[in-house]
Structure 1
């Protein structure tokens, strides 16, 4: 996991624990889960639009916005960054394991 991701997560945690005047993160925590979820949805839509427009720089920035808002959601829900990292590590071990799909014989 990158140091930047760890640092961002720590800042978000600190904002949840200690109110800082003028902090957007504190504002999100103050408004609650519905606002956080709304922002996650908005940012996800913005990623889609930027990607569809094939504007890589815009897409990169929107992905960063989405990751930030997802981290706010994680902290709000008590989800640890290490827990997500562990799940990703487990999933990476499955790369190359092709799933077998059920096939139907349409001739019978």
Structure 2
């Protein structure tokens, strides 16, 4: 499988990444590393690609889907960092989800 994981450096995403790599799958992670940690990911693995970016960046999301052509998508990117900046969290959680879902639909995932 070719699995795109948003929020892949977070708690859920990094654990799933480890399992999928151990099973021999290819994994592409999109993470902005605001709450996720690079140290949660394998140092170097031939089946792993990591892109630092935001799900709110529609052009980036579209490029990643087109280049990687995932067979599966796990959308675990979410923002909850600052209750006083709820607008930015909303952009991540709503706009980002829309971008991922629309790109998956176009890609036939």
TM-score band w.r.t. shorter chain: 0.3 to 0.5
Query: Which structure has the bigger radius of gyration?
Result: 1
- Asked which structure has the greater RCO (Cα within 8 Å, sep 6+), the reply is 2
The structure where strand makes up a greater share of residues is 2
Q: TM-score, normalised by structure 2?
A: 0.34
Q: TM-score, normalised by structure 1?
A: 0.34
The structure where helix makes up a greater share of residues is 1
